[in-house]
Amino acid sequence: MIIRLILAALLFLTYGVCQTIERIEMQTMHLKEKLRLTEEQTVKVRYILTRHIELVNYDRNAKEGNRRERLKASIAFMEKTDTEIEKILSKEQKRKFDLYKEERRKEMRERMKERQL
């Protein structure tokens, strides 16, 4: 019985890690395509996104009970991540990145409206 529980826990953790890695890779490739990143920029963006996920997960665990605090922290992390990404972009890429962020905001607002219905 204990072995089954341990195996189930390991499978659950492995699944979560794989999903996180896939999400980081998907976001990196999406930005690479949208912004026409160089290989060097792509590596840096992947590193920034990986570090972002690690910090968000750590902070989420620290603020487990307070939803509002987690949301504030998540927004702050997102802004910091965007700023770090912007540092490695050319002027044209920054312009495209700003447009991309605006698209993201619109999508988020629409999802929030749908939840309220």
Please give the pLDDT value at position 85: 95
Asked whether 41 and 88 are in contact (CB, 8 A), the reply is yes
Average pLDDT, the chain: 81
Supply the pLDDT for residue 78.
Answer: 87
pLDDT confidence of residue 15: 47
Asked whether the beta carbons of 68 and 39 are under 8 A apart, the reply is no
What pTM was estimated for this model as a whole? 0.72
Count of structural domains, the chain: 1
Instruction: Give the pLDDT score at 10.
Output: 47
76's tokens: 């702050």
Please write the tens of the pLDDT for every residue from 41-82.
999 999 999 888 877 766 655 556 677 777 787 788 889 999
The DSSP call for residue 64 is T
Q: What local confidence, expressed as pLDDT, does residue 14 receive?
A: 52
Q: Which domain holds residue 75?
A: 2-116
Distance CA(43)–CA(8), nearest Å, equals 34
pLDDT (0 to 100) of residue 108: 83
| Better-scored residue on pLDDT, 108 or 96 | 96
Q: Is a pLDDT exceeding 60 seen at residue 39?
A: yes
Going by the DSSP 8-state scheme, the letter that residue 65 receives in this structure is T
Spatial distance between the Cα atoms of 91 and 113, rounded to a whole number of angstroms: 33
More confident residue, 26 or 10: 26
Mean pLDDT of 4-32: 69
